[in-house]
Structure 1
Amino acid sequence: MPQIAPVTFAAGNAKKLMALPAYGLGALASIVVPRRRDLWVFGSGPGIGEGALALYRLVRRENPSLRLLWLARDERDLVTAESLGIPAVLKSSRRGFFATLRARVIVVTHGFGDANRYGLRGGFVVQLWHGIPLKRINLDSPATLRTRLLPDSTVVRRMLRLMYRTAARSIDIMPAASEVSATRLRTAFDLPAHRVVVTGDPRDDVLVAGGETERNVAARALLFTQLAIEDSGCRVVLYAPTWRDGEVDPGVPSAGEWRAIIALLEASESLLVLRPHPHGVGDYAVGVALSERVVLLDSTRCTDVTPVLPAVDALITDYSSIAYDFSLLGRPIVFLAPDVDAYTASRGLYVAYDTFSGGMQKSTWGELLELLGGADTDETVRAALVDHAAALAAGHHAFRDGGNTARVYRQITTRLKEHE
């Protein structure tokens, strides 16, 4: 099986530099091609999901006169869109380019490449982003400006910084979960305060809307359908590490660690769901082969993990913003960070890792399993984990009423009038 090159900042930036002529041609086309007032396009880096899908569904309900179109990554996305009744075109196709070029509103969740990046100029761009940043992003992180093209050139790095800053000016509105998140997003994208607005994150509405029992039942049904296994009623533990810019996840367990993990899973009648980052590097096949209590939920099975979080009883993560999302559920979060010093030096964090983890992070699976097992037998340990999750939620989510998507839509409609 051919090896797929890992996704890295360096490779992505080299492609951006090589594509400068195409950006120029797209900008020229935007001068002569008028935008349609009734056309909105949506895209999301991992596929159909995230806040873009939540916003799509609300806009379709609130204003059925608009023409809404999804910009698909590939044929698989087109099939998914059809099953959901969502009109879609390939974003990289001629139709995808002209749809982006003619759209009045362009909604993305990761980067401009969620749409057709060459047709953005002049559109009203809504950048929903994909979580509350812990690790430094965009202009705030030195990692963002790495490139394979003359990697040691100061001129090239300055050019990249200018490109990122210029591109960010295309963002007309960037919703944020809280003022803490908004502050980070403003510096990361060099945006004026009024463009980053605290509305709550649309993708988190599914975690708080409706009744808890209803959410849990729906999430378990979705999770076990995606896993293609029967729900035995067991406890669900999710392991979701972050992306490491092409480096292998140091949290991949050794053979001995897998045996210890499986022993704890059997003793506690639990299921460990592995959720590698879509661009992550690491082989978890040993654990899956050793026990039916270890299952893989990768991005080919599950594009957007947020809707299944209410099915999860405990989360294991490292630097991922999934911790902020999961904190809304008030359940234990345990942190596995064997490379905290190296990661912090390479990527940078907005707050000290001890603050993020509550000082309870572990560097090995052995230590983490002891903590996770202790939470089952010692109410004091469990209470400490739950209290820290509650503190994360209180400090990073301004709203918990299920109305984030509606607030974003109201902001868009208001600002469209100002934009015109």
Structure 2
Amino acid sequence: MASFSFGAGNAAKLLRIPLYLAGRLATWIIPRSRDEWVFGSAVGIADGALALWDHARGEGEQAVWIVADDRQAAEAAARGIPTVRKGSAAAFWRTARARVIVVTHGFGDVDRYAAAGAFIVQLWHGIPLKRIGLDSPATVRTPVAALNRVAGPVIAAMYRATQRRIGLIPAASHLVRGRLESAFALSDENVPVTGEPRVDVLSSGSPESRRRAALDGLSAALHPDAPSERDHLSGARDAPMQTAAALSARSIVLYAPTWRDGAPDPAIPSRDDWTAIHAMLEEHDAMLLVRSHPLGAGDYGAGLGDRVRMLGSDRVADVTPLLPAVDVLITDYSSLVFDALLVPVPTAFLAPDAAA
């Protein structure tokens, strides 16, 4: 996925103000149904939205998933999930008609122009270890620094008004609840402490069954017949197939840095670093999996091979179910550290830009 920054996103948002106004007018005219739900997630058919989908459909709710591309459509079809394509007239209509809208990142997960007036469930995609939303200066940044003083307050006001439409955002704890309330300008009644649906997979079944399922999923993700673009360009396509049995015999290390508002990952190894990393992996019969943030950037091509593989969102939309297959997590201030604790997975912190 291409890199994204709030500056560029906010500039586009300001240019789209007429579309927001037109959408708001349409939602005043179009009556909402009493029983329709619309789901969407920036990462695809995954995350907390999928967990809630399974529950809602089990309760007989009428729902549809808004997909961004053919890959998401195929994943939905394999699960028997009806879909409409994002950006289409059908997506606008279904969003404008829905009584309940479920998202994991933002209103752009569905149709951003038709969300007003629905009951919005925001299943945020991670516990905020770092500052997010209104608590982060990056949220109201523009591409031109000189404009931040003027445009920043306008963007903040727009963001606050938009996020206050959220009817429900579940929190994992009372501490997390306070952070979510501050980040999204919400009151206590909108942020109940219920736990997060996206991590239910880490408590269902036995530890052994979760690990088997995770190893099977990881083996499928690393299959050489389904290479990511970056693996293909770097020659890692020729890496041998990793069966679940082979993976279980190795120590699996996952490196997962978080998003830095469009900046590249700060800890990309040098050539000498890669030499040392490969020697260590060989010595301990280990494999390093690299997962940049879906909206992040990082060129790890120089180090890819049998023992170093990419595990980006182009291979696995949601890495949470695969955590039971991981032996060590290396991260910085990614919310993945909290998910790993539920397995549990030992975690090492690497944040070379922490001072910045």
Same fold (TM over 0.5): yes
When the two chains are superposed, the root-mean-square deviation of aligned CA atoms in Å is 1.3
Out of 27, 32, 37, which is 1:35 matched to? 32
Equivalent residue for 2:20? 23
* TM-score, normalization by structure 2: 0.92
Conservation of the 8 A alpha-carbon contact between 2:47 and 2:318? yes
AA aligned to 1:171 is I
* Other structure's SS at 2:258 match: coil
Equivalent residue for 1:334? 348
Deviations 1:46-84 (A, max 9, x none): 1110000010011111x22x2110011122211211122
Equivalent residue for 2:47? 50
Higher mean C-alpha deviation, range 76-85 or range 210-219? 76-85
Within 5 Å, which residues of 2 pair with 1:359-378? none
Deviations 1:338-366 (A, max 9, x none): 11011xxxxxxxxxxxxxxxxxxxxxxxx
Show structure 2 runs of 5+ residues with no match: 224-240
The reply to whether residue 104 of structure 1 matches residue 99 of structure 2 is yes
Q: Distance in 2 between matches of 1:331 and 1:275?
A: 16
Conservation of the 8 A alpha-carbon contact between 2:323 and 2:345? no
Deviation at 1:148, TM superposition (A): 2.4
The reply to whether residue 211 of structure 1 matches residue 223 of structure 2 is no
The reply to whether residue 302 of structure 1 matches residue 302 of structure 2 is no
* Other structure's SS at 1:106 match: strand
The reply to whether residue 258 of structure 1 matches residue 242 of structure 2 is no
The reply to whether residue 166 of structure 1 matches residue 161 of structure 2 is yes
* Other structure's SS at 1:71 match: strand
AA aligned to 1:331 is V
The reply to whether residue 311 of structure 1 matches residue 311 of structure 2 is no
Conservation of the 8 A alpha-carbon contact between 2:95 and 2:101? yes
Within 5 Å, which residues of 2 pair with 1:122-271? 122-148=117-143, 151-228=146-223, 229-231=241-243, 232=246, 233-271=249-287
* Other structure's SS at 1:68 match: strand
AA aligned to 1:92 is G
AA aligned to 1:69 is V
Going by fraction, where is helix more abundant, 1 or 2?
A: 1
Deviations 1:6-29 (A, max 9, x none): 310000001111111111111111
Conservation of the 8 A alpha-carbon contact between 2:2 and 2:295? no
Q: Distance in 2 between matches of 1:153 and 1:340?
A: 24
AA aligned to 2:312 is D
AA aligned to 1:56 is W
Equivalent residue for 2:81? 86
Displaced runs of 4 or more, over 3 A: none
AA aligned to 1:161 is A
Deviations 1:209-260 (A, max 9, x none): 2100000000100011111132312111101011111111111111111111
Q: Distance in 1 between matches of 2:146 and 2:337?
A: 33
Equivalent residue for 1:113? 108
Deviation at 1:156, TM superposition (A): 1.2
Deviation at 1:152, TM superposition (A): 2.3
Within 5 Å, which residues of 2 pair with 1:348-387? none
Identical pairs, percent: 50
Count of residues in correspondence between the two structures: 335
Q: Distance in 2 between matches of 1:323 and 1:296?
A: 19
* TM-score, normalization by structure 1: 0.78
Deviation at 1:169, TM superposition (A): 1.2
Conservation of the 8 A alpha-carbon contact between 2:2 and 2:296? no
* Other structure's SS at 2:147 match: coil
Deviations 1:131-162 (A, max 9, x none): 11011111111111111267524231111011
Q: Distance in 2 between matches of 1:226 and 1:75?
A: 18
Q: Distance in 2 between matches of 1:86 and 1:149?
A: 42
